Amino acid sequence: MRSDATIQSSLINAALLEHPATSSPGLAFVALGPIKLNNLSARPQIAITFRREWQWATVEGHAELAGPDHPQWWLTGPEQLRVLLRQIFTAAGGTHDDWDTYDRVMREQRRTAVLINPTRIYGRL
């Protein structure tokens, strides 16, 4: 949600992923951009809807940011963030021919992991 209480919506590639510190099941995606990340930091409520053919599900929850501008106690340094961003990317179905370039771009763009702790799941599963 934006500061004016309107909804911010984005198309993302999300992945099922265990939280790195708690091993709790959740969702994750990689984000960039100060506006989106500032909104999520200030108002971490989030909803993601998935669709496959005629089946769909919505996951509502709380977003936790982990990145260069959003430190977490469990994120011990750049190497752990590099590995986490790759895990999210590949779990969401991504592949890459040049992982060194991928890592460099993630660093340069100050990409951030968004981890979602689900609080409600509903839909036509």
Residue 95: Cβ within 10 Å count? 6
Fold category of 15-124 in CATH:
Pnp Oxidase; Chain A (2.30.110)
pLDDT, one tens digit per residue, over 68-105 is 999 999 999 999 999 999 999 999 999 999 999 999 99
| pLDDT at site 59 | 93
- The single-letter code of the amino acid at 106 is M
| pTM (two decimals) | 0.92
Report the distance separating Cα 5 and Cα 29, nearest Å. Answer: 23
Report the distance separating Cα 15 and Cα 79, nearest Å. Answer: 20
Which residue pairs, CB below 8 angstroms and at least 24 apart, start in 41-44? 41/65, 41/70, 42/3, 43/1
